[in-house]
Structure 1
């Protein structure tokens, strides 16, 4: 089924303003990088410039699969989602390109561009290991949301033909 067909079940497309607000309020997502077989998926914190770029912080050692795949990728995808309940959730799917920032660019990033959430493990390791910053240029974006009353609450209406008759 398409998103439009699922509208009767409470699913709706998010407009550009809703998507920008959602990306600004969140701080975690999943980066998908292409490989020869299946996509390589990495949960990452991100910074958002309020426009067309996301920013990632990579902690890398001598070898880093995510850095290697990022360097070779012509395009990548990023999914940000929030699921409060089965009846209330949002997701934004982005496609775009990656570019490693120079050390100078990384050091001059604004607070909005700097990923806001970093686990203590990464913070501690970041003091002794090499860090790299990456910019994700957003080329396409799609956002969907679902806001519905759960069954048993006033005004909940099951869609016709859902099999519960």
Structure 2
């Protein structure tokens, strides 16, 4: 079914303000990078600057598939979603460009990255691995949400 058809069941498109608030309230999404055959997808924590960029830190080794796929990608997609119940969920899809951050960029976004969630395993490993900063520049954004029971399932007022 299309989004237009799902509106009859309570699905709504998110406004730009709702998308920004949602991105600011979340910390993890799924990054999709183009690769030959099928996309390379992986979960990653992020920080949103409140405007048009997300920031990722990669923990990578000498032959990182993630870094190699990122460095050749012209565009990427990023999906952030939250599901409270089957009748209450939100989903935001972003498309944009990824660029490796410079050394000076770390200083500019260090305060933003302080709140980025990472598994403890990655925190420990970052002491011995390469940590790189990437900026995801948002070029297109869309979001949908469903809040509450769909029409026909709501309790009747009697």
Same fold (TM over 0.5): yes
* Corresponding residue of 1:162: none
How high is the TM-score relative to the length of structure 1? Answer: 0.88
Q: Which residue of 1 aligns with 2:3?
A: 3
Instruction: Tell me the equivalent position of 1:41.
Output: 41
**TM-score, with structure 2 as normaliser:** 0.92
CA-based RMSD of the aligned residues comes to: 1.8
Match of 2:70 in 1: 70
Offset of residue 95 of structure 1: 0.3
Where does structure 2 lack aligned partners over 5 or more consecutive residues?
A: none
Q: Which residue number in structure 1 is paired with residue 18 of structure 2? A: 18
Residues in 2 aligned to 1:132 and 1:107: alpha-carbon distance in whole angstroms: 13
Unaligned runs of 5+ in 1: 157-165
**Aligned residue in 1 for 2:55:** 55
Match of 2:142 in 1: 142
Alpha-carbon distance in 2 for matches of 1:47, 1:118: 11
Change (3 A) 1:155 1:101: farther
Local SS of the residue matching 2:3: coil
2:63 is paired with a residue of what secondary structure?
coil
**For the residues of structure 1 that align with 2:54 and 2:92, how far apart are their CA atoms?**
13
**Aligned residue pairs, count:** 156
Could you tell me how far apart the structure 2 residues matched to 1:61 and 1:110 are?
A: 22
